[in-house]
Chains A and B, each alone.
Chain A
């Protein structure tokens, strides 16, 4: 059994799985249930001056029968009083001393920030998370993502916080920026202990074509909601890695965005996260999902011979580099395993209409009846000379391991675009001819 415990910016938790600051982290009742289920930590739903919510708050993107592939919300921060929230945090921390319990905060003036930090300290919270990410409602009042999108303002506010507390401070970043490393650097500069990302993405999930009003529908109107769930994972991974590889950021990262299982979590950790936070998957299935997360990550670490989850951290960070460093001489090609092929010919039409016209439909002669089991039914065949190795066919193929991409060895030395430009300029090589 691998050791799953992590130390995130001085905050200890028995495993890297935290409940994110969101509806599942709204009350002591939920907190108890989460910790009973096994969650290593919980970031309380953002505390601030109590707000008033609208009734209809969530909407989703469903794809081909899969519910909530993407999810959005227009709910604001906690609608409970500051006193109630901190009272419940205190109670939860007392009952669960070994779990990480973080107070997420959002307020405006320096005085108010200092007041909130004092209350957080009093509650026994293990740290605070500053919500500079919320992209709806609060930003219209100059808080949430309005701060996160302005590195200078953020730096000032983080400065107020750092001068008033000894608790570990996590700055939660908004993805609604062109370059996430800029606010991340601002957090670092202001002395923050860690960053967490991503918060939700500005979104409209769907338009009701009868009412001509997007969801969530609120009395004839809607608003831009915060988008999350499995569909945002690639965006979150990209931003996490960007921060992890940036030497000017250099802060522990709490990875957030579409994490639903141990595999997702492992990917975030491999790209530099110390721990991960989860919301949508809990809103979909409940706290019980952590059981498989713990179990699955453990088995994965064992299978890789890793003694601790910390051994996994950052292992994939350096493999993501600028495009200009990639080897132009590397070649791969598609290979079809006819014993697995079911004859759907999706690879053919995808390549023909959507890519590089490198698959032919040919007679199944010599393949027996061939895939699809119909006599004479044409089968796909890779035109090896035309195949650029783009991967598309292997992505559309509905059968696992039926189309694989295989390396084509060649005797050329690796050549990056960067080197190519240099050698071209110095006349050491001729230009690579353009494709037909």
Chain B
């Protein structure tokens, strides 16, 4: 990579600083006091990990911050990350009853961050109680959110738990793949520390199938959890993708998390191919690192973007540009990228985007970031575990309720199963797998944790998003339909 940032150390540090600071004490108190403390709160139902949200908010209101953070981490060991990176607008905050009172929803994400930051700052171990070992051992492959969620849950159930990570540091995408301005790497590192405090062992720089044979894991452990995530970024299959200056989005974001910020290479004119949330992360970070021009190139229109609307807004606010209905034909340059030959696209009545004949044009770029989604690694894992089943899209097949794969002692969760979802979904899947393993190995079901007041209640524990997550855009659509039907009927 020949391109280099033009910004000074201080400029870059400012530009990449967290977009949303931690609440100050009084801000947190005012916001926490707004919470109604619903019973059977909808926010809990919309949280895939089922955090007792009114419970932790009430504790912030009373100044019981350690207790508050404990409520969060009991349900979601990555509660500090999720506080920063969760799409709260479509999850907990999107379900807040305040919206029905024509008020702004409670800022659950920011309150969650306030409580977990307080715990972090105080350096208190949230789970000081030692759990009695149950004599069973579980190995986890990969150390991303799914594995961490699974390992923490297993450790608290008494399992000797070992996480194998091929990278130098544990954390997976949480450590290396989140936009820096949303969450600096220190947060992911702290969360790993909390998991370690629970007694989980980490073996880094250890790749399964290379440094440790898969057979050994199956032989040495009572169960194995696969949380290895996805592979490299998809390729477009156009000429020039191998030129210097072409980089995968996750690789670019990884540089940001491993190099001093002012030494992260970035072009003057940067093209980002793709339109998902990772594409937004890439284009905004390129801009903040000092690119004069950072452009998203997408073959369809604004309304078809898969990025969340507020992510799109952020990119626009950062001064990024968008070339819609445009696709790359060839990446130009000798060895180093000098530009992209592009073609206009039109979306027909059938919904397909087709080339507009004779519309080709060339734009100069010195860096191209590919953000086209990650590849499935079905063939790699099928080699290691031939009995493992994958669906037609290359996703690992498993029972959604228990995480159990086609191999009874092998469980899975996270992006390798879902094909790529949020951190919070990965944690939830890891937790479910832990419960699935516990049922298999110890014959015990695990209930909760859940809204404290629900425990022992005669209607039983229900209403948690962990058991039955609710996606808010879906319910919004259903709600609108209901309302329309009502008003027309």
Contact assessment for B38 and A346 in the assembled complex, using a CB-CB cutoff below 8 Å: yes
The interface residues of chain B lying within 8 Å CB-to-CB of A399 are: 101
Mark each residue of chain A from 338 to 380: 1 if its CB lies under 8 Å from any CB of chain B, else 0. 0000111110110001000000010000001101111111100
Contact pick for B42, options A64, A374, A398, CB 8 Å? A374
Mark each residue of chain B from 100 to 132: 1 if its CB lies under 8 Å from any CB of chain A, else 0. 110000000000000000000000000000000
Report the bound CA distance from A382 to B474 in whole Å: 30
Contact pick for A372, options B37, B97, B485, B486, CB 8 Å? B97
Contact assessment for B453 and A398 in the assembled complex, using a CB-CB cutoff below 8 Å: no
Instruction: Please judge, given known A-B contacts A65-B29, A368-B486, whether A398 and B101 are in contact too, CB under 8 Å.
Output: yes
B401 at the binding interface (Cβ < 8 Å):
no
Q: How large is the interface on A (under 10, 10 to 19, 20 to 34, 35 or more residues)?
A: 20 to 34
B470 at the binding interface (Cβ < 8 Å):
yes
B475 at the binding interface (Cβ < 8 Å):
yes
The interface residues of chain A lying within 8 Å CB-to-CB of B486 are: 368
B146 at the binding interface (Cβ < 8 Å):
no
The interface residues of chain B lying within 8 Å CB-to-CB of A64 are: 33, 61
Mark each residue of chain A from 366 to 408: 1 if its CB lies under 8 Å from any CB of chain B, else 0. 0011011111111000000000000000000011000000000
Report the bound CA distance from A65 to B31 in whole Å: 9
Contact assessment for A374 and B46 in the assembled complex, using a CB-CB cutoff below 8 Å: yes
Contact assessment for A342 and B40 in the assembled complex, using a CB-CB cutoff below 8 Å: no
B45 at the binding interface (Cβ < 8 Å):
yes
Contact assessment for B42 and A349 in the assembled complex, using a CB-CB cutoff below 8 Å: no
Contact assessment for B101 and A377 in the assembled complex, using a CB-CB cutoff below 8 Å: no
> CB within 8 Å of A: which of B302-361?
none
Contact pick for B100, options A65, A346, A368, A373, CB 8 Å? A373
The residue of chain A having its C-beta at the shortest distance from the C-beta of B468 within the complex is A376
Contact pick for A377, options B36, B40, B99, CB 8 Å? B40
Contact assessment for A377 and B463 in the assembled complex, using a CB-CB cutoff below 8 Å: yes
B95 at the binding interface (Cβ < 8 Å):
yes
Contact assessment for A346 and B39 in the assembled complex, using a CB-CB cutoff below 8 Å: yes
Report the bound CA distance from A99 to B100 in whole Å: 49
Q: How large is the interface on B (under 10, 10 to 19, 20 to 34, 35 or more residues)?
A: 20 to 34
The interface residues of chain A lying within 8 Å CB-to-CB of B97 are: 342-344, 372
The residue of chain B having its C-beta at the shortest distance from the C-beta of A376 within the complex is B468
Report the bound CA distance from A345 to B97 in whole Å: 10
Contact assessment for A361 and B95 in the assembled complex, using a CB-CB cutoff below 8 Å: no
B30 at the binding interface (Cβ < 8 Å):
yes
Report the bound CA distance from A187 to B161 in whole Å: 80
The interface residues of chain B lying within 8 Å CB-to-CB of A361 are: 40, 459
Contact assessment for A375 and B470 in the assembled complex, using a CB-CB cutoff below 8 Å: yes
Report the bound CA distance from A399 to B478 in whole Å: 24
Q: How far is the CB of A268 from chain B (nearest CB, A)?
A: 29
Q: How far is the CB of B456 from chain A (nearest CB, A)?
A: 11
Contact pick for B45, options A342, A353, A374, CB 8 Å? A374
Report the bound CA distance from A152 to B453 in whole Å: 55
Q: How far is the CB of A380 from chain B (nearest CB, A)?
A: 9
Report the bound CA distance from A64 to B36 in whole Å: 11
B14 at the binding interface (Cβ < 8 Å):
no
B482 at the binding interface (Cβ < 8 Å):
yes
Contact assessment for B470 and A374 in the assembled complex, using a CB-CB cutoff below 8 Å: yes
The interface residues of chain B lying within 8 Å CB-to-CB of A372 are: 42, 95, 97, 100
Contact assessment for B42 and A377 in the assembled complex, using a CB-CB cutoff below 8 Å: yes
The residue of chain B having its C-beta at the shortest distance from the C-beta of A344 within the complex is B38
Contact assessment for A378 and B40 in the assembled complex, using a CB-CB cutoff below 8 Å: yes
Contact assessment for B475 and A369 in the assembled complex, using a CB-CB cutoff below 8 Å: yes
Mark each residue of chain B from 77 to 105: 1 if its CB lies under 8 Å from any CB of chain A, else 0. 00000000000000000010111110000
Q: How far is the CB of B66 from chain A (nearest CB, A)?
A: 16
Report the bound CA distance from A378 to B95 in whole Å: 14
Mark each residue of chain A from 172 to 203: 1 if its CB lies under 8 Å from any CB of chain B, else 0. 00000000000000000000000000000000
The interface residues of chain B lying within 8 Å CB-to-CB of A374 are: 42, 45-46, 95, 470, 475
Interface centre among A342, A349, A375 (most CB of B within 10 A): A342
Contact assessment for A65 and B30 in the assembled complex, using a CB-CB cutoff below 8 Å: yes
Instruction: Please judge, given known A-B contacts A368-B482, A373-B42, whether A346 and B30 are in contact too, CB under 8 Å.
Output: no
Contact assessment for B36 and A375 in the assembled complex, using a CB-CB cutoff below 8 Å: no
Interface centre among A373, A376, A377 (most CB of B within 10 A): A373
Report the bound CA distance from A346 to B58 in whole Å: 14
Report the bound CA distance from A316 to B405 in whole Å: 73
The interface residues of chain A lying within 8 Å CB-to-CB of B476 are: 373
Instruction: Please judge, given known A-B contacts A342-B101, A368-B486, A373-B479, whether A348 and B39 are in contact too, CB under 8 Å.
Output: yes
Report the bound CA distance from A65 to B25 in whole Å: 12
The interface residues of chain B lying within 8 Å CB-to-CB of A377 are: 40, 42, 45, 463
The residue of chain A having its C-beta at the shortest distance from the C-beta of B482 within the complex is A368
The interface residues of chain B lying within 8 Å CB-to-CB of A368 are: 482-483, 485-486
The residue of chain B having its C-beta at the shortest distance from the C-beta of A345 within the complex is B39
Contact pick for A369, options B98, B453, B463, B482, CB 8 Å? B482
Contact pick for A349, options B45, B95, B100, B453, CB 8 Å? B453
The residue of chain B having its C-beta at the shortest distance from the C-beta of A396 within the complex is B36
Q: How far is the CB of A372 from chain B (nearest CB, A)?
A: 5
> CB within 8 Å of B: which of A301-331?
none
The interface residues of chain A lying within 8 Å CB-to-CB of B479 are: 369, 373
The residue of chain A having its C-beta at the shortest distance from the C-beta of B457 within the complex is A352
Mark each residue of chain B from 3 to 42: 1 if its CB lies under 8 Å from any CB of chain A, else 0. 0000000000000000000000000011001001111111
List chain A positions with a Cβ less than 8 A from chain B. 64-65, 342-346, 348-349, 353, 361, 368-369, 371-378, 398-399
Q: Which 3 A-B pairs have the closest CB atoms?
A: A342-B100, A349-B39, A344-B38
Contacts A65-B33, A346-B36, A371-B100 given; 10 further ones with Cβ under 8 A? A64-B33, A343-B42, A343-B100, A348-B40, A361-B459, A368-B485, A373-B95, A377-B40, A378-B40, A398-B101
Name 14 interchain pairs, CB-CB below 8 A, sorted by A.
Answer: A344-B41, A345-B38, A345-B39, A345-B40, A346-B36, A346-B39, A348-B40, A361-B40, A368-B486, A369-B479, A374-B95, A375-B470, A398-B36, A398-B101
List chain B positions with a Cβ less than 8 A from chain A. 29-30, 33, 36-42, 45-46, 61, 95, 97-101, 453, 459, 463, 468, 470, 475-476, 478-479, 482-483, 485-486
